[in-house]
Structure 1
């Protein structure tokens, strides 16, 4: 894809890498970028050769530094609700509910919509230079792309409120300590580490990963007794797959499993 595209999409074997490509604007999300991202994500999601999707930002400074403030300032409430607000919720929910594992490779600032996008991904690797935060309160706003609901479900509610009430930025190390990310990686090693992790996951059965993701996502919305019953039903479904039996046979025969996704 051309370097001037809003989203750069690259296929590296079983891994798709999507790069938000507005470095001069710190990869801020406006309506055009959001639509380009949705199209690129949909293509990776529907490509049977792609097993893992990595999301990152172009340039040295930012993953996604939030929404485009000029774009937001030009909007009025009802039009925003019906247009951009509805679109960004749809797109971010699509990332969250994707059957393929997703990895955020956070190379710099992930503020506002950047943190909200990160919250929709499965795994998060942060460069040691990364900064996270929901600073919307400083603009007379509050998080409107899922941040108020996802953050308070991921970390202690009092810490989530503090971050949203103050608009403070936190370091990569603080984000890991809060449970918002998996680990901190030296900036120069971030993409290599993200690709290594993606390739390890891509070697697993795509069918079992899909069913595992659905079990985790759906079960998290249930009370524990119902969630356990759901898990029991889903593992029964897994045992009807060829991949489950291939994995068990490979273990017994002391050889690598050859998963086909069936």
Structure 2
């Protein structure tokens, strides 16, 4: 995970282009550390997250799922690694902007969702395919009520369909759509505009603008990730879905009683 500072703007770039920036344990840890490092720098006014032309971020590396053989291992991964990274985006002292080119899939789309602002290229696409592999978009389901209208949230998370950049704009998942070659420039221009303000004003505005997301929203993310680790990943749908993904075939999900627990 690369971090560089250009004036008052910190740029964090995902660094696994060969896997469309799919996140493994090191990736989630790196994102958390780089965001905390950038937010702690008193000279930084804004952070921009970058992928590459083919993909912003493909979410969780599917290979990680095959290493999570017990609920405790799953909890350690999702609550110990994924949750801190999402918290780091939300709780970063300065605004975080996602510069989205190409695909934003699963956890990658969720990073965009929890970012303060987002810029999408005309060819950017957003997809939450988790249900096709027997799991579910936990962060999105937990946070969307705080950041999106309910209907767009359901459209993306329940249908697993891919949204184009214009639809993502209408859903308020991104704030502007530009030509692909202009994504990084537009995101940097937005960050520089923010950076013209007072450091304390920027940080206080960010803190209060995300106050409910920091408390209720992140608590909901914790509960959603715990349910994923305790219930979903140990069930037959997740096993069948991940196998089918590797074998490049359509999954065959058995009809069984749901494992959804009542919310506390």
TM-score scaled by structure 2?
0.77
Cα distance in 2 for residues equivalent to 1:127 and 1:221: 28
Whose radius of gyration is greater, 1 or 2?
1
1:215 aligned partner: 208
Cα distance in 1 for residues equivalent to 2:91 and 2:33: 16
Number of residue-to-residue matches in the alignment: 214
Q: CA RMSD in A?
A: 1.7
- Higher RCO, Cα 8 Å, sep 6+: 2
Question: 6, 12, 24: which is aligned to 1:12?
Answer: 6
Q: Cα 1:150–1:220, aligned 2, differ >3 Å: closer, same or farther?
A: closer
Q: In the TM superposition, what whole-angstrom CA distance separates every residue of 1:23-75 from its partner, at most 9, and x where no partner exists? A: 00000011011112222222111111111100011x32100011100112321
1:173 is aligned to 2:166: yes
- CA apart distance, 1:206: 1.1
- CA apart distance, 1:84: 3.5
1:104 aligned partner: 98
- CA apart distance, 1:193: 1.1
- Gaps (5+ residues) in structure 1? 1-6, 223-262
- Gaps (5+ residues) in structure 2? 216-264
1:205 aligned partner: 198
- CA apart distance, 1:155: 2.4
Q: Cα 1:162–1:193, aligned 2, differ >3 Å: closer, same or farther?
A: closer
Question: 70, 94, 110: which is aligned to 2:63?
Answer: 70
- CA apart distance, 1:175: 0.2
The SS at the match of 2:210 is: helix
Cα distance in 1 for residues equivalent to 2:159 and 2:143: 18
1:259 aligned partner: none
- CA apart distance, 1:85: 3.4
